[in-house]
Amino acid sequence: MANLPPNEWTDLAQSLPALGPLVEQSDRPLPPLAEFLAKVDESRYSLEDWGEALAAFHTWMEKSNIRQRPLGSMLGYVECCNLTLNAAIPTPDLTRLVVGMLEQYGFDAARKAEA
């Protein structure tokens, strides 16, 4: 994280270390932090849950040989996973929900690296 200028996202990544590698490798410009925090507030999950889910998303992209890190699109994907939940069912682990959706449906906002 030393190569990034200080900003709201790097401050958040210091509080949620799981986000550090993702923030460092994310495509620029980063989306406004306020938009991310609003998505968290409107969801059934904590900031830590979102951080862990985004870190797992980042790991999934690495394993899938995807170099791009469109953080705005990734946030939208996690938000959509949250919106798929029925209010009547128990809240599943957000990380497992996101990784399950990625494995089942993929992520079209980023392409695999050229071989």
| Residue 46 · residue 4 · CB < 8 Å | no
3-state secondary structure of 105: helix
Which range, of 71-75, 88-92, 100-104, 109-113, averages the lowest pLDDT?
109-113
Residue type, 57: F
For the question of whether the overall pTM of this predicted structure is more than 0.85, the answer is no
29 compared with 38, residue with greater pLDDT: 38
| Residue 45 · residue 86 · CB < 8 Å | no
pLDDT at 81 (0 to 100):
92
In angstroms, rounded to a whole number, what is the distance separating the alpha carbons of residues 20 and 51? Answer: 10
- The CA-based angle 31-108-92, given to 5 degrees, is 75
3-state secondary structure of 66: strand
